[in-house]
Structure 1
Amino acid sequence: MSVFQIDEFLDTLGEEAFMDANSLRKALAPKLKDMLQSGHAEAERFLIRKKNGIACAQRLSAQMDQIIHIAYVAIVERLYKRANPSSSERLAIVATGGYGRDTLAPGSDVDLLFLLPYKQTDWSEGIIETMLYLLWDLKLKVGHATRSVDDCINEAKGDITIRTSLLEARFLFGNKELFEEMESRFQADIVRSTAAEFVEAKLKERDERIVRVGASRYLVEPNVKDGKGGLRDLHTLFWIVKYVYGTADMEELIKLGMMEEEARIAERCTEFLWRVRCHMHFAVGRAEERLTFDLQPIIAKRMGYKGRSGLSSVERFMKAYFLIAKDVGDLTAALCAILESQQTKKKPLLNRIVAPLKRRKKNILGEDDLDFVVDNDRINVISGAFSRDQMNLIKLFWLSSRHNLPIHPDAKRQASVHAKEIGPALRRSKEANRLFLDILTSKNFPEVVLRAMNEAGVLGRFVPEFSRVVAMMQFNMYHHYTVDEHLLRCIGVISEIEHGKLGHEHPVAHSIFKTLHHRRALYVAAFLHDIAKGRPEDHSEGGARIAQKLCPRFGLSPSETDTVVWLVRYHLLMSDTAQRRDLSDPMTIKNFASVVQTMERLRLLLILTVADIKAVGHGVWTGWKGELLRSLYYETEIALGGGETMKIGQRIDAARRTLRDALPEWSEDNFKIYADRHSKAYWTTVEPARQVKHALMMSAMEERGDTVLTTVETDHFRGVTELFVISPDHPRLLTIITGACTAAGANIVDAKIFTTNDGTALDTIVISRAFDRDEDEMRRGQRIAQTIEKGLKGQVRIADFVKSRKPSSHKAAQAAKTFRLGAEVVIDNALASRQTVLEVSGLDRPGLLYDLTSTIGRLNLNIASAHIATYGEKAVDAFYVTDLLGTKIVHPSRQNTIRKALMEVFADEHYKK
C-alpha cells in the first residue's frame, strides 16, 4: 500500500478519528484487525499452495510492515503532526529480532526499537504509547525498546543480546538519518574490534540453550525454534556470519570461502524449518514451537507426507525433519572451521568426554598415516586423502578413537562429501571392517566417534542396514530419541558401565563386566539390537537375521556371531520377564533359564538390558526396574548352577532361621505358630528385612485387636514409595487398593500379593514418587494409606471415592487423541505353576488399573499378584489369577467370558474420549 493509498484509507475514518489517541484507536483498530486476519488467511493458503516456508514468513513480515506503516502515518503524520519539528522531535521505527530479518511466523512476537536522537520528549512518548496500545488492540505480542543512538551503542558494548538485536535491525519508517547514524557507529565502535568475542559468546549461548531445551537434535518431540538443529541454530549462524563478514548474502559468502553446496543446504534447511514452524502456528492458532506427538500427524498431513516403505506418514515427516536438523549441525561445524582458519574463533577445547593426552611434538599418528595431520589438537586430512584411498574414510575415525582426538570440521566435511562414494569393495575389505570393529568396541568411549561417523554419513554408507534407521523416529511416547541415536546411546551406556562410571547405580552389571568372555559381541549386539526397526516383521527376528549376515563381515568368530544373534533375538526377554512376570513363581525362572541356558548369556543380557532401558530417554530407567532385573538375575543364576544352589526345603529352613534370629524376644511357640502361617513362596521370595517388618506389624496389629494395618515407606534410590497393607483377604482387596491410588493420582508400578495359610493378605503396592523430598512423599503416601484403610473397613465406598476424585490427565488425553492402539488380552496357563496369567495391553489412562481389577473382581477371580509395565502411552498389565477354589482357568468358555469383559474396559465411553 503506497503512501497515497494509506492517506485515502485513513480519510475513510473521518476527521473525528484524529481528535485524540483513544478516538484513533477505536476507529483504526477494527480495520487493521480485519486486514491482519485476512492477510494471515491468505498467507496460510499461499503456504499450502506454494510449499515455501521462507516466502510465507516474508509475506507475513511484509504484511506487518504495512500495518505499522498505516499506524505510523496515522499517529505521526496526522495525530501528532509537527509543522516545524525541532531536532529532538525525530523518531525512527526499527524492526529487530526475526522481524528485523524480514521473516515473521504467524504467532511470533513483533520486536520494535523506537530510536530517538536524545532522551524521550512528550511528543515521542505520546507517539510510542499510542503506537503500542494500537498494536496491543490487535492482540499482537510486541517486544519493544525505546533508546537514543547513544543508549544503543553504550548498552550494546556490555550486552550481547542488545548487540545481536542491533545487528539484525531493519529500518521501517521515520527519520532514516537516525538509523544510519546508529548503524555506522555500531559498525565503527563495536563490530570492527569484537568479532572473536561475539563468535565465542554466541556459540556459548547456543550451548547453554541446547542444554536447557534438550541436548540431542534427535529428541522425538523437538523444539523447532530453540532445539538443537532448529531455526535458532541457523539464526546463530546468520548472526556470526553477518558480524564477521558484514553480510549474510549467500553469493558474497561463497566468494569468502563457503562452499556452494553448503550455501544450498543452508537455504534448504531454512526453508524447511520455516515451513514447519508456520504450519505449526497456523494449525494451533498461536505460537507453538514444540513439535509434540499430537501435532506431528497434523503437520505431516499439511505438508503432504504419505505412508511408504513400512513407515507411516508421521514417521516419514519426522525423518525428514531430523535429517534437516543433522544438516544444520553440519553447517555449524563447517562455519566454525572457516572462522577458525581465519583466526576469528579461539582454539577449541578437546572433547569434554575424552580426557586429553600429553602429546609429544613428533607426529603421534606415525609414518604410516601420512594422509592425516594433527591440526589444532584435532585430526585433519591433507588434500585429496579420501580420493586417493577410500580406506581413509574409515581410518579417520579409527585414528580419532585410537588417539582420543576429536576430528577437525574440515576433515568431517570432506568425509561427508566423499561418503557417498563408499561401495561394496570397501564394505568387503577385511582391513576396513577390522578398523570399524576396533572403533565399535574401543575402550575410548566409542559412542563419541560413532556419532561423528553417523553425522558425516560414513556409518550409514559403510553399514547400509544402519542407514535405514538413521533419523527414524518411532511414533510413540516411550522412545525419546530416533533409532540411530538410541543405538549410539546404548553403546555409550555400556562403555560407562565398563569404565565404572555407573558402578553405584548398576553395581551388578559393573561387577560382572570383567568376567565376560564375549565383550566384543556385547558391543556389536548393542549396535544391532534395533537395526530392523521400521520393517514389517518383528524387529528382534529381523535384527537377528541382519546380525547373522554382518557379524562375519565385521570379523567376529562363529562363537561371537552366535552370541550376537542370540542377544539381538532376545534383547527384550529379560526386561519383559522382570517387569511383567511373577519372579516368585519357579515357573517364571524355569522358563527364562531355559531360553538363556548359560551364565555368559545371562551376564551379557543383563548388561544389554540395562543399557537398552537407560538409552530410551531421561527418566525411563528407575531403581525399581533395577531391583527387578537384579532379582531375576540372581534367581536365574541359581537355576543355571552359577550361584548358590540349595533345595527349596533348605532355603525355607534357612529363611525361617534368619527370621527367628531377628526376633529373639519371641517364644518358640509363638514363632512356630507365626511361621507356619506362611506359604513356601513367601519364604523363598520375600527378603529377610521385609519378613521382619511383616512379623512385627502383624504382631502389633493383633495385640491392638485391629484387622487392618497400613504403613508407608519411601525409597529415594529406587524412585518409589511402598504401601504395605495387612488385611483379611477377599476378592476385591486389590480393587480397593488400586481405587485409592487412582483417586490420589498415584501411578502403581508393581503389586506383590501374599496370603497366609489362614487367610490374611500381605500386600505390597509400589507407586512412583511424586515429590523429591521424603517428607512430602510420606505425607502423600499416608493420605493414600488412610483411604485404603477406610475402604477396607467400609467407611468409604471406594467406587464413589474414585468417581469423585479421579484426576484428569493431559498426558492421557493427548495419548487418547493422538495414538491408536488396539487392546489385547492374552490368557496363558503355561507361564505359572499355580495360576492363570492374564496379560492385558492397550492405551494407558488414569484409572485403568482400577477398572481392570474391578472387572477381575466381578468375574470372581482371585488376584495372586499383579505386574504393571508402562511403555509411554501403552500399558501392559499381567495378573496371576485363580478361580474362587484356587485353581487355574482352563475351560474355553470361561476364558472367553474373561477376555470379553476385559476388552470392554478399553471400549468404555470415557476411555474413547
Structure 2
Amino acid sequence: MSTATDRFVALRRAIVDDDRLGAAQRAQTLSELADGWLARLFADVPATTRRGYALVAVGGYGRRELLPGSDLDVLLLVTSRGDPGAVADAVFYPVWDAGLALDHSVRTLGQAVDVAASDLKAALGLIDARHVAGDEALTEKLRADVRDGWRKQAAARLPELAAMCRDRAAGVGELAHLLEPDLVQAYGGLRDTLALRAVTASWIADRPRTPEVDLARRWLLTVRDALHRTTGRRQDRLLFENQDDVAAKLGLLDADPLLRRVAEAGRSIAYASDVTWRDVERTLAGRRRRGRRQQLVRRPLAGGVDEYDGEVVLARDAEPARDAVLPLRAAAAAAQAGLVPSPQTLARLAAECPPLPEPWPTSGLDALVSLLGAGPGIVPVWDALEAAGLVVRWFPEWERIRYRATRTPVHRHTVDRHLVETAAVASRLTRRVARPDLLLLAALVHDLGKGVPGNHSEAGEPIAVALGRRLGLTEDDASTLGRLVRHHLLLPETATRRDPDDPATLATVVDAVGTREFLELLACLTEADATAAGPIAWTPLRSRLVGDLVERTGLVLAGAAPPEPARLTAEQATLAAAGTLAVRVTPPDGDAAGLATVTVVAPRGPRVLGVVAGVLALHRLDVRSASAYTAGDAVVLVWQVVARRGGGPDEVRLREDAARALGGSLDLGERLAARAAEWRGRVIAHARPRVELLRDVSADATVLEIRAHDEPGLLHRVATALSGPGVVIRSAVVGTLGSEAIDVFYLVDGAGAPLSAAAEETAVDAARAALAGADDGAP
C-alpha cells in the first residue's frame, strides 16, 4: 500500500475506535476522510487522462452516512472520450488494498440516467448522488437528470417502490415487533426512511413532518454504528448475542431498554410510512379519477363513521364529544372493511371523545369484539390506535407490555404484537367455540401477565378478571376469561412434556378445564397462541399431540371411562416377544413435516434409552419426540426424528450401530463429544441449562425435567447419566422447541416406586454433571 493509503487506514481506524465521537459525527468524519482520500487518488491521475470524468458518492456514502462497516458506494462518471480503465484502476485498487468493501460502477452520463430509469434500487442510490472529485458540472447534470426523471416517472415508479416495501416487510417483519430486528431491512427501519426521501423527491406527496421520524432515524443509525463497532464488521441484524454489548456501548443498562427504544423508533418510521403510502395512493387515484371525471363519494360504514377516499373518517353528523364508543366503532368498522382511520380522524377522536365509563356499555364491548374478530385487518388499525394513544387509554395494562421482548426460541414478535397477532388468528377459529367473544378477548389479554413479576400465567389471571369486569363482562364470564389466561399453556405443556399414559396427566387436565365448553375455548386459544408465536411453536407434531390430549380429555368430560394406556401395535408386540434387537423405520408422510418414525425394540436394560439416543445423534437425526413401553423382558422405543441431512434414517445402518453400541464395541461418548465440541464452536448458548424436579405431576414416579440448548448427543449424555444403580427411566417425553431441548424423565427405583429423597438428589446431580458441557458460552 502507498503512504497515503496507509495514512488513510490508520486515521479511519482511529475514528472508528474513538468513543468520544457520536454516531452522526463519526459518519460525517468517515465520509469526509473518504472524500479527501479518493479526491487525492483521483488527482494523482494525469490531468489529460481524467479530464471530463467525475467521481460521485452514492447511497449511504452520498448521504454522508458512512458507518464503520459500510461499503464505499462510488460511481465513476465518464465521458465517451478515452479509456476509463486507467482512472478506475487508480481509484478502485487502493480501496481494495485498504481492505474496504467497494460497491462501484463506471458509466457514462446517459448510461447512469438510463439505469436510474429502469432499476429502482439504482435510482434510490442515485437520488442521493454527491460530488467527490473531477468535473463537478457532470455530477450536477447527473443529479438534475436523475431527479427530473424520477419526478416524471413517479406515477409508475412509486407503486413499484410501495410493492418493494411491502414485499420486504412480509419477508423480514416489522422492526418494532421483532426480537432480533434488522435495523435496515425490517419495516420501519432505515430502508423505509430512504423510501420516504424518494417519495418527497417525487413531489407526489410529502412525508409527515414530525420530529419523531428524524429522531428515530438518527437513533437507528446510532445503534447500527454501535453494532458495527461491537461486531467489527457490517452487521445490520441485532442478534441476541450482541444486544447487551451494544446496549453497554450506548450507555444503556441492558438489552431491554435498547430494544424498546429501537422498537419505538421503528414504530414512528413505520407509521409515517403507512400514512405516506396512503397519501401517495390517494393522490395517484385522484389523478386517475380526474382523467375519467369521477367524483369521490362517502360510504357509510357505521354510526358516525364513513369511508371516504380510501380512509375511515367521521360522518358529517358525528358527535365525538358525546360519544365515548365512537373510537371503538370507527376502529371496528375500519378493520372489518380492510381500511385504516385517517390520522386526522384519530387525532380528533383522541382529543374530543370522553373516556369510556366503567363498566363499558354493551355497545363498547360489542365494538371491541368486532374489532378483534376482523382478522388481519386488526393489525394496521391497532397500530394506528396505538399511535393516537387510544389503546393505552382503554387498556392501561398495555403500557407494561408495549415493545416488551420475550427471549425464547419460540416467539418472533414482542409481547404486544404477539397478542394482536393471536387475536387475528383466533378470529379464524371462532366458529369452533360456543363463546367466540371470550376466545377473542382471551387472545388479546393472555400474556398481559408478562408485564409484572412472577409466572405470567398466574399473574395474568387477576389482571384478566379485573379487565373483564371493566369491559362489562358478567362475573362468571370475567372469571372464565381469567381461567383461560391462567391455563393458556396447560394443553401444550402437558401434551409435550408429560407422559400421556400416566393417569395423573389426564386427571390434571380434566380437573383444570371442568367443562367441554371451556376445553373448546382453551384448545382454540392454544392453537391461536402457538400459531401467532411462530412455526416452531405449532408444528404438525405438536398439533397432533395437543389434539390427542384434547380428544382424550373430551371423552372423559363426556362421561366416558378414561382411555386405556397406549398399547403396542401387533408388529411391535411380535418384535418384543422375539427378545432380540430390531429396528424399523417409517418414512415421513405428507403431513408430518419431514418427521420419520424410528422404532427400536431391544432387551430391557438400564442403558438402552441413552444408547439408542446416542446412535440417532451419531446418524445426525434430531429427535422431536420419544416414548418408551415395556413388554416383558423387552423395551420398545418409538422416536420421531428429522434428518439434518438428506436421505433420512437408514434402517440397516441404525441396527448395526445400535447392536455395536449395546454390545460395547462402539464408543458413542467419544464420537459424540467431538461432534458436540465442534457444534459449540459455532453456536452461542444464551442461558444456562436447568434441571428441576416436577412435584405433583405423577403419583407413582419421580419426574425430572431438563432444559438446555439442544446439541448433538445431549439426550444420550443425560439418559446415560440418569441410568445409574437403582434408577430406571420408566418413560421419557422428549421435545425440541427450536433450539431448546425440553426433556422430561419419569424415574422409578428397581421396585417400580418413586425415588427416595437421596436418590432424587443423586439423579439431579447426575443430570447437572451431564449438562455441564452445555454451559460453555452461556451467560
TM-score, structure 1 as length reference: 0.78
* 8 Å CA contact retained: 2:358, 2:472: no
Which of the numbers 38, 41, 56 marks the counterpart of 1:94? 56
| Per-residue Cα deviation, 1:269-302 (whole angstroms, up to 9, x for no partner) | 1110000100000111110011000011111111
Aligned match of 1:620:
537
Q: Secondary structure at the match of 1:106?
A: coil
- Closer, same or farther: CA 376–344 of 1 in aligned 2, 3 Å: closer
Contact 1:487 1:527 in 2 (8 A): yes
* Percent of residue pairs bearing the same amino acid type: 23
| Residue aligning to 1:673 | none
Give the equivalent residue in structure 2 for 1:778. Answer: 648
The answer (yes or no) to whether the contact 2:335–2:371 under 8 Å persists in 1 is no
Equivalent position of 2:418 in the other structure: 486
Contact 1:215 1:228 in 2 (8 A): yes
RMSD: 3.1
Note if contact 2:56-2:76 (Cα within 8 Å) is conserved in structure 1: yes
8 Å contact kept, 1:708–1:789: no
The one of 743, 748, 755 equivalent to 2:618 is 743
- Equivalent residue in structure 2 for 1:761, among 635, 638, 644: 635
Q: What letter corresponds to residue 71 of structure 1 in structure 2?
A: L
Q: Is the contact between residue 115 and residue 147 of structure 1 (CA under 8 Å) also seen in structure 2?
A: yes
Q: Does 1:877 align with 2:743?
A: yes
| Corresponding residue number in structure 2 for 1:56 | 26
> 2:127 matched to which residue of 1?
167
Alpha-carbon contact 2:175-2:266 (below 8 Å) kept: no
Q: Distance in 1 between matches of 2:203 and 2:94?
A: 38
C-alpha displacement of 1:412: 3.4
Q: Which amino acid aligns with 1:849?
A: L
The answer (yes or no) to whether the contact 2:358–2:471 under 8 Å persists in 1 is no
Aligned to 1:691: 569
CA deviation map 1:801-823 (0-9, x unaligned) = 323444733698312xxx33462
Amino acid at match of 2:300: L
Q: 1:777 to 1:583 in 2, by over 3 A?
A: farther
2:557 pairs with one of 624, 640, 645: 640
Q: Structure 1 residues 484 and 345, CA, compared in 2 at 3 Å: closer, same or farther?
A: farther
What is the number of equivalent residue pairs in this alignment? 770
User: Residues 375 and 808 of structure 1: is their aligned pair in 2 closer, same or farther, counting only changes over 3 Å?
Assistant: farther
CA distance in 1, matches of 2:350, 2:41: 55
Matches within 5 A, 1:654-669: none
Deviation at 1:494, TM superposition (A): 1.6
What's the secondary structure of 2:429's corresponding residue?
A: helix
Distance 1:599 1:414 in 2: 44
8 Å CA contact 1:812, 1:873 repeated in 2: no
Partner of 2:684 in structure 1? Answer: 814
Distance 2:75 2:307 in 1: 48
Find the residue that maps to 2:141 and give its secondary structure: helix
TM-fit CA distance, 1:881: 1.6
What is the alpha-carbon distance in structure 1 between the residues aligned to residue 297 and residue 107 of structure 2? 57
- Paired position in structure 2 for 1:865: 731
1:33 correspondence with 2:9? yes
How far residue 755 of structure 1 moved from its aligned partner, in angstroms, is 1.2
Counterpart residue type for residue 394 of structure 2: F
Residue 717 (structure 1) aligned to one of 552, 577, 591: 591
Partner of 1:823: 690
| SS of corresponding position for 2:160 | helix
Give the secondary-structure state (helix, strand or coil) at the position aligned to 2:704: strand
Aligned residue type for 1:709: V
CA distance 1:341–1:55, shift in 2 (3 Å): farther
Q: Is the 8 A contact 2:325 2:364 kept in 1?
A: no
Aligned equivalent of 1:236: 195
Q: Letter of the aligned partner of 1:103 in structure 2? A: E
Which residue is 1:70 aligned to? 40
CA contact (8 A) 2:412 2:533 kept: yes
Contact 1:812 1:845 in 2 (8 A): no
* Amino acid paired to 2:73: D
User: Residue 291 and residue 443 in structure 1: after superposition, are their counterparts in 2 closer, same or farther (change >3 A)?
Assistant: closer
What is residue 428 of structure 2 aligned with on the other side?
A: 496
Q: Does 1:300 align with 2:242?
A: no
Contact 1:582 1:865 in 2 (8 A): yes
Change in CA separation of 1:114 and 1:366 when aligned onto 2, cut-off 3 Å: closer
Match of 1:730 in 2: 605
Alignment of 1:344-383 (within 5 A): 364-365=299-300, 368-369=303-304, 372-381=305-314
CA contact (8 A) 1:825 1:903 kept: no
Structure 1 CA distance for aligned equivalents of residues 716 and 40 of structure 2: 61
2:724 maps to 1:892 = no
SS at match of 1:866: strand
1:110 maps to: 72
Change (3 A) 1:135 1:780: farther
Whole-Å Cα distance in 2 between the matches of residues 782 and 609 of structure 1?
40
2:609 partner SS = helix
SS at match of 2:187: coil
Residue 329 (structure 2) aligns with: 395
For the residue of structure 2 that corresponds to 1:747, the secondary structure is strand
Tell whether the 8 Å contact from 2:400 to 2:452 is kept in structure 1 after alignment: no
For residues 773-823 of structure 1, what are the alpha-carbon distances to aligned partners after superposition, in whole Å with 9 as ceiling and x for unaligned? xxx3434676555432332344423223323444733698312xxx33462
CA distance in 2, matches of 1:130, 1:237: 36
Counterpart-to-counterpart distance in 2, 1:433 and 1:557: 15
Q: 1:46 aligns with which of 21, 27, 44?
A: 21
Matches of 1:468 and 1:569, distance apart in 2: 18
Structure 2 CA distance for aligned equivalents of residues 362 and 342 of structure 1: 16
Does 1:853 find its partner at 2:719?
Answer: yes
Partners of 1:221 and 1:833 lie apart in 2 by 42
Any conservation in 2 of the 1:398–1:435 contact (CA below 8 Å)?
A: no
- What amino acid maps onto 1:869 in structure 2? G
SS of the residue aligned with 2:500? coil
**Residues of 1 paired with 2:562 and 2:319: CA distance?**
64
* Distance in 2 of aligned mates of 1:103 and 1:647: 68
Find the residue that maps to 1:685 and give its secondary structure. coil
Residues 1:323 and 2:190 are matched in the alignment: no
Aligned AA for 1:81?
A
CA pair 463-592 structure 1, distance change in 2 beyond 3 A = same
For structure 1, the 5+ residue unaligned runs are: 1-24, 48-52, 246-255, 307-312, 349-359, 499-512, 652-683
Alpha-carbon distance in structure 2 between the residues aligned to 1:712 and 1:326: 48
Contact 2:300–2:306 (CA under 8 A) maintained in structure 1: yes
State which of 767, 791, 795 in structure 1 corresponds to 2:661. 791
| Maintained 8 Å contact 2:339/2:377 | no
CA contact (8 A) 1:709 1:725 kept: yes
Q: Against the structure 1 CA distance between its residues 167 and 430, is the aligned structure 2 distance closer, same or farther, given a 3 Å change threshold?
A: same
Structure 2 gap segments, 5+ residues each? 290-294
In structure 1, what residue type is equivalent to 2:477? E
* Counterpart pick for 1:565 among 473, 478, 482: 482
Contact 1:446–1:491 (8 Å) recurs in 2 = no
Residue equivalent to 1:533: 450
- The separation in 2 between residues aligned to 1:497 and 1:909, in whole angstroms, is 40
Q: Which residue of 1 aligns with 2:292?
A: none
- Superposed CA offset, 1:305-351 (max 9, x none): 22xxxxxx312221111111111111112223443454488889xxx
Describe the shift of the 1:144–1:708 C-alpha distance in structure 2 as closer, same or farther (beyond 3 A).
Answer: same
Bigger Rg, which one: 1
Q: 1:709, 1:726 within 8 Å by CA — same for their partners in 2?
A: yes
User: Is residue 845–residue 911 contact of structure 1 (8 Å, CA) maintained in 2?
Assistant: no
Kindly state the Cα deviation for residue 196 of structure 1 after the two structures are TM-superposed.
1.6
Q: TM-score, normalised by structure 2?
A: 0.91
Q: Report if the CA contact (8 A) 2:627-2:637 is conserved.
A: yes
For 2:580 and 2:760, locate their aligned partners in 1 and report how far apart those are by CA, in whole Å. 38
Query: 1:859: Cα distance to partner?
Result: 4.3
The answer for the alignment partner of 1:661 in structure 2 is none
Change in 2 beyond 3 A, CA 1:742/1:525: same
Question: For 1:778, what is the secondary structure of its paired residue?
Answer: coil
Tell me: CA distance 1:417–1:128, structure 2 relative to 1, closer, same or farther (3 Å): farther
Which secondary structure state, in structure 2, belongs to the residue aligned with residue 887 of structure 1?
Answer: coil
Residue 66 of structure 1 deviates from its aligned partner by: 2.0
- Supply the distance in 2 between the matched residues of 1:133 and 1:441 (Cα, whole angstroms): 59
Q: Does 2:159 match 1:200? A: yes
